[in-house]
Amino acid sequence: MLQVAFIQENKEDIIARLAKRNIDATEMINEAIAFDEDRKAIQTKLDNTKAESNSLSKEIGNLYKSGETQKANILKQKTTQLKEITKTFEQELNDKIEALSELLYRIPNVPNPIVPAGNTDEDNEETFREGDIPKLHEGALPHWELAKKYNIIDFELGNKITGAGFPVYIGKGARLQRALIAYFLDKNTEAGYTEYQVPHLVNEASGFGTGQLPDKEGQMYHVTADNLYLIPTAEVPATNIFRDTLLNESDLPISITGYTPCFRREAGSYGAHVRGLNRLHQFDKVEILRVEHPDNSYKALDGMVNHVKGILQELKLPYRILRLCGGDLGFTSALTYDFEVFSTAQDRWLEISSISNFETFQANRLKLRFKNADGKNELCHTLNGSSLALPRVLAGILENYQTEDGIKIPEVLVPYTGFDMIS
């Protein structure tokens, strides 16, 4: 959520930068400023009324002490009127604050100046590419056919138990899945991230804190009886660890990692591009998250990008990095880099990680602050990224490492799997 003071001080710049998202935010920004001016005016009236009421109360007390009862009673009637006026102003103030908050919740984060303008993923900028695309043998298969051939993932069984998008991993498929989770967590903790195990359901306040609500409500599974939401990513519970928190500057940076299953309705997803592991309703993901001093957050973002690079280099998968354009940027992000692995059997790139800097956008919703060197409270910057999302990494391994004799296991994973081939 953008700060009102920031909006007032940077109105034209905000409108121009939000235009990169293909949004004309002029009306919303003007309305937010107007709401805040109204709020200030009502607050002034309320403060003045309370001050007058307090002054009269003291005067009434003195009149009673001096025996001027009649005058005191007349003034007492006026204080009764002032109390009613106070209630009216308090209700108006609460209504205006609520209206302003609801409006601010609908305004997306302001893109960083280096975010390219654009409408779709075709306008994203490729910033890095590494790894050789393997030449597969004749008759190479996409991962969903490999999964069936080697009995390592059963999509039909998952459909029977739950529905489409809930696969069942079997034997070496389950072992490889577990190996990837352990490997990712080990890489992250070795890099200084503290591991957390967090709940897989969150309350409404947590959803609002990280910006999933109200923006992505339709994509989340809602447990209506308890008004809880299944998490779409570990980012939600992990970031909300710090909701309503005042840190010391010396506490920063904070770096955490965690594994969770993730649940996404993915409404409207269909077609060949979502086959197999390409898009699921339940999938596993290891997340990294940082809480940073505003001066250091973009250096931290670069560090997170380099960290994920190192993992993909060890897995020896061909990948590229994209700087997302405004039209493809997430609601809460100021700058996002997507990692994509090349699926040789499908002849297409598959997104496996998004690494984002939210600047103060989430922190403002979360009331996540630190006390700076001057003793003043200041909003932190939050960042998060996938390190990594498993389904498409697994798809990339199955397809790019397939041979006529079976599927090789990346060397770095063999100590975790206990086998070097699926055959």
Q: Chunk the chain into consecutive blocks of 10 residues (it has 423) and report each block's average pLDDT, rounded to whole numbers.
A: 95 97 96 96 96 90 86 86 94 96 95 95 96 93 97 97 96 98 98 98 97 88 97 97 98 98 78 80 98 98 98 98 97 98 94 98 97 96 97 97 97 98 97
Can you list the domains of the chain with their CATH numbers? 4-106 (1.10.287.40), 121-422 (3.30.930.10)
Edge to edge, the sheet with strand 406-408 lists 402-403, 406-408, 421-422
* Residue with the two structure tokens 């005058």: 71
**β-bridge mates for residue 283, sequence order:** 262
Cβ burial, residue 53 (10 Å; 0-12/13-18/19+)? middle
Q: How far apart are CA 382 and CA 336, in angstroms?
A: 13
CA 361, 364, 368, 369 torsion: positive or negative?
positive
Known binding-site residue numbers for L-serine? 233, 264, 287, 384
Q: What's the first-to-final CA gap in the chain, in angstroms? A: 51
> What's residue 74's pLDDT?
84
Known binding-site residue numbers for ATP? 264-266, 351-354
Q: What predicted TM-score, i.e. pTM, was given to this entire model?
A: 0.92
> What's residue 69's pLDDT?
84
Known binding-site residue numbers? 233, 264-266, 287, 351-354, 384
8 Å CB contact between 29 and 9: no
Q: How far apart are CA 366 and CA 170, in angstroms?
A: 40
SS3 289: strand
Beta strands at 194-195 and 254-263: parallel, antiparallel or unpaired? parallel
132 DSSP 8-state letter = P
